[in-house]
């Protein structure tokens, strides 16, 4: 005998959190403080079901008229007035609740039976608690209502206005089959919504908190990347190299970075990280590989203009579609939102090279600091699964100085390849230097090189053998030449 089919919530991302949808014949409570999105979420599920021809009963428990609730939802795209009264039937239980628990239960079950409803939504369980002021009566009401709904093959969803910690102390937490908590928190000027499936009887639901958004389309969720990676192998490794199209630099890497690897370019402010990343993306486009350049600072036109100022013309590749440049603003969205959009673009276009320019901005948009390492590790793994060779740029905190510390950058430990760009002060002048700090599973030239950025582009010079302490940014001369020129 096959197991009963899950109830589709009409919100694909919610189905993911619930391990496939609402379990049949169960009762679920959605809890959260006022304004957290409980009513919008449950109403969207109700309208989605009614729009598919599934009878739904929506119950209000206060003396307010139904049209107040309907009007509040009318601005959302999921609101379908044509289903009201037929597929979606509204009823007030206020009078029955005032008479007693048995009267209210009988009214609700009779209405479900008469309408053939498969979903019952009661908005405002706390109002019932406040009306009765009787724990034993409320517990008995919920228990018997749940049994009656299960017998009628109907799912019950309820909302209540309690923070999760408070709800867990109340009888509602034990009488319900499932608990979904929604919340709103502040971080600086941002207000962040979260959802957590705390309990779902007999189901391997996704654990932990996930991003929740409310738009004019309704409620949407972004399951954490690290909790939803597909169980697929990484793209097979090949012997191909992914270079910059700069012969002197590519030679240091014996042709470029290994394919399907993640690379970090870490460097001082203004040293040329974005320019070097632009070379990488453009080289892929010129070789017939669709490339994506994601800037967390500049618009596409600004990226093109800055490259052109030093002789790198990216516009033909951009206009042909082989190179896509997009601008994402981490200050206006959380990392989960940004990365989902980026991964969608990669999958839709078959991208093989991606640049994320300004990784520190993305890291800061991961609001929970303890998530950053796992989030970025999951991103790197997902890119490898998609067969993408990725490059991240990140600014180091000091222009020059004796400390070389990547402890505040999780991706520095996760990237297979790390290329360091620094300014070094020698004889009263700042010089640009680069060095490959690591390339996993590959040989490379570890010599420190000077490079220059001029109107004709970026050029890597000869090894700097005449100084010590170059990577600290404070060189000590031991000879008379730097990059092949006399000092």
Q: Radius of gyration over alpha carbons of the chain, in Å?
A: 29
List residues bridging with 197 in a β-sheet: 180
Span 427-460, pLDDT tens digits: 778 889 999 999 988 899 989 999 999 988 999 9
Instruction: Over range 72-84, report the average pLDDT.
Output: 95
Whether the per-residue pLDDT at 97 is higher than 70: the answer is: yes
Least confident of 83-87, 187-191, 315-319, 348-352: 187-191
Whether the per-residue pLDDT at 356 is higher than 50: the answer is: yes
- Pairing mode, if any, of strands 476-477 and 467-468? antiparallel
Q: What is the pLDDT of residue 429?
A: 84
Distance of CA 79 to the CA centre of its chain: 27
Whether the per-residue pLDDT at 69 is higher than 90: the answer is: no
Instruction: Over range 67-73, report the average pLDDT.
Output: 87
Q: Are 235 and 387 in contact (CB under 8 A)?
A: yes
Span 294-340, pLDDT tens digits: 999 899 999 999 999 999 999 999 999 999 999 988 777 889 999 99
Instruction: Over range 118-126, report the average pLDDT.
Output: 94
**pLDDT class for 400, splitting at 50, 70, 90?**
very low
Q: What is the pLDDT of residue 399?
A: 45
Distance CA 375, CA 338 (A): 12
Picking from 127, 179, 133, the residue whose alpha carbon sits closest to that of residue 157 is 179
Average pLDDT score, the chain: 89
Q: Which domains does the chain have, with CATH numbers?
A: 12-223 (3.40.50.300), 241-486 (3.40.50.300)
Span 243-269, pLDDT tens digits: 999 999 999 999 999 999 999 999 988
The tokens describing 123, both together, are 């908005």
pLDDT more than 70, % of the chain: 90
Q: What is the pLDDT of residue 482?
A: 47
Instruction: Over range 472-483, report the average pLDDT.
Output: 51
Residue 298 CB burial class (10 angstroms; 0-12, 13-18, ≥19) = middle
Span 339-353, pLDDT tens digits: 999 999 999 999 999
**pLDDT class for 239, splitting at 50, 70, 90?**
confident
């Amino acid at each position: 005998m096959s197991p009963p089919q899950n109830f589709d919530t009409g919100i694909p991302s919610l189905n993911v959190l619930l391990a496939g949808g609402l379990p049949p014949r169960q009762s679920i409570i959605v809890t959260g403080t006022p304004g957290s999105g409980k009513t919008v979420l449950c109403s969207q599920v109700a309208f989605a079901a009614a729009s598919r021809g599934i009878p739904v009963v929506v119950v209000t428990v206060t003396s307010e008229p139904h049209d107040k609730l309907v009007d509040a939802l009318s601005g959302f795209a999921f609101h379908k007035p044509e289903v009201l009264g037929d597929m979606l039937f509204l009823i007030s239980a206020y009078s029955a609740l005032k008479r007693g628990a048995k009267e209210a239960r009988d009214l609700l079950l009779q209405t479900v039976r008469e309408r053939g409803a498969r979903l019952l939504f009661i908005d405002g369980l706390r109002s019932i608690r406040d009306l009765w002021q009787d724990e034993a009566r409320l517990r008995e009401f919920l228990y018997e209502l749940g049994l009656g709904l299960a017998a009628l093959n109907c799912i019950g969803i309820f909302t209540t206005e309690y923070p999760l910690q408070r709800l867990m102390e109340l009888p509602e937490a034990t009488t319900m089959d499932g608990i979904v908590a929604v919340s709103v928190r502040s971080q600086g000027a941002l207000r962040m919504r979260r959802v957590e499936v705390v309990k779902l009887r007999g189901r391997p639901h996704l654990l932990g908190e996930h991003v929740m958004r409310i738009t004019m389309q309704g409620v949407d969720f972004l399951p954490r990347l690290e909790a939803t990676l597909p169980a697929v192998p990484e793209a097979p490794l090949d012997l191909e190299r992914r270079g910059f199209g700069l012969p002197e630099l590519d030679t240091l890497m014996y042709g470029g970075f290994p394919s399907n690897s993640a690379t970090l370019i870490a460097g001082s402010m203004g040293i040329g990280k974005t320019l070097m990343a632009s070379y990488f993306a453009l080289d892929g486009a010129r070789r017939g590989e669709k490339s994506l350049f994601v800037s967390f600072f500049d618009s596409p036109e600004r990226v093109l203009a800055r490259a052109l100022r030093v002789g790198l013309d990216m516009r033909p590749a951009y206009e042909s579609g082989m190179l896509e440049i997009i601008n994402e603003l981490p200050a206006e969205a959380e990392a989960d939102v940004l990365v989902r959009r980026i991964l969608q673009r990669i999958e839709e276009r078959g991208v093989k090279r991606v640049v994320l320019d300004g990784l520190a901005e993305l890291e800061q948009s991961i609001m929970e600091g303890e998530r950053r390492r796992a989030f970025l590790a999951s991103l790197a793994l997902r890119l490898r699964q998609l067969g993408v060779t990725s490059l991240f740029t990140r600014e180091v905190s000091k222009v020059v100085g004796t400390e070389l510390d990547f402890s505040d950058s999780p991706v520095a430990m996760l990237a297979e390849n790390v290329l360091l760009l620094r300014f070094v002060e020698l004889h009263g002048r700042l010089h640009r230097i680069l060095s490959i700090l690591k390339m996993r599973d590959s040989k490379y030239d570890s010599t420190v090189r000077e490079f220059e950025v001029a109107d004709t582009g970026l050029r890597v010079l000869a090894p700097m053998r005449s100084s010590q302490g170059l990577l600290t940014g404070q060189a000590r001369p031991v000879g008379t030449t730097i990059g092949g020129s006399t000092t």
